[in-house]
Amino acid sequence: MEPLLDVKDLKTYFFTDNGTVKAVDGVSFDLYEGETLGLVGESGCGKSVSAMSILRLIPNPPGQIMNGEIIFDGKNLRTINDEEMRNVRGNDIAMIFQEPMTSLNPSLTVGHQVTEPLEVHASMKKKEALVEAVRLLEQVQIPEAAIRAKAYPHQFSGGMRQRAMISMGLSCSPKLIIADEPTTALDVTVQAQLLELMKGLTRDFSMSLIIITHNLGVVARYADRVNVMYAGRIVEKGTAEDIYDHPRHPYTLGLMASVPRLDQDTRQKLVPIEGQPPDLANLPKGCAFHPRCKYVIDKCRQESPLLEKVGEKHEKACWIDVRE
């Protein structure tokens, strides 16, 4: 079976006065129909830029996709023209952004904003689109949807705004949804509700889902496969079970150790990853993680490792054999 999305050697750089920022530097991954993929890592590791590159939403200047292929449903998104790309956005690939208050227009009602993609991509008349918008708001469990459709974003809570964003993403029945930190700044109860909702909708409609997050708990519960990113590269990839039960990269181990777990002794302290993420415009020689790695050897300071198989579907980019 061919993957729905196949990203090969993607490189996206930003050219600034302080140097070239290699935000995404040779990323490759695939995604199959109905599958959920987690992109995990600290802020600034390249997760969101990878997603924006897929949709060709990189601002130029200063950003530019330098290399790679983005094969989606048999088409290379890097080579199609702008009009074709606009049809892909929203219609075939929908993105749910991190902060709905900056994505929703405060001067337009929520219903008006949900109807917009229906009018543009599905060629619906305004009245027909409004009926469908109310149905979509009901689908994401917004109560009294017909009344709330007439409300403005500031009249919604954070969780309700994010539900409205999900309804916009679902409006044209896309094949792929990219959720960029969809539960940031929401309380844990609302987070769980929204993630269950998204997972259920993708399962019901056979959509694929990419969840971009730094929350390992989210990935453990909802992702089928996981890509761990650091300094613009994927340093470990595998099934969620591989990553959680048998992490093989020091960075993944560090992320796991810094998260509280219910099965740990309550007196046990969390172990932070020492140091700071690297400057992507001035990366160290060798492995980018070596200044923060407690397992570092001389080879790490000289050569950057490539991904290598350590299991049937498990890969890591590390010179040493780290086992938990």
**Quick check: helix, strand or coil at residue 138?**
helix
Taken as a whole, the chain contains a residue count of: 324
Q: Does 15 have pLDDT greater than 90?
A: yes
Predicted confidence (pLDDT) at residue 262 exceeds the cutoff of 70: no
Q: Please, which residues have CB within 8 angstroms of residue 50's CB and are 6 or more apart in sequence?
A: 7, 10, 12, 24, 27, 39, 229
Per-residue pLDDT, 13: 97
Structure tokens at 210: 């990419």
Q: In this structure, what DSSP letter does residue 89 have?
A: B
pLDDT in tens, 144-166: 999 999 999 999 988 888 889 88
Residue 310 — pLDDT band, cuts 50, 70, 90? very high
pLDDT digits 0-9 by tens, 35-80: 999 999 988 899 999 999 999 999 988 999 999 999 999 999 999 9
pLDDT at 40: 93
pLDDT tier for residue 185 given thresholds of 50, 70 and 90: low
In what order do the strands lie in the sheet containing 93-96? Answer: 93-96, 176-180, 208-213, 36-40, 225-230, 233-239, 315-316, 308-309
Residue 204 CA, distance from chain mean position: 21
In degrees rounded to 5, what are phi and psi of residue 15? -100, 110
- Measure CA of the first residue to CA of the last residue in the chain; give whole Å: 34
Say how far apart CA 3 and CA 25 lie, in whole Å: 22
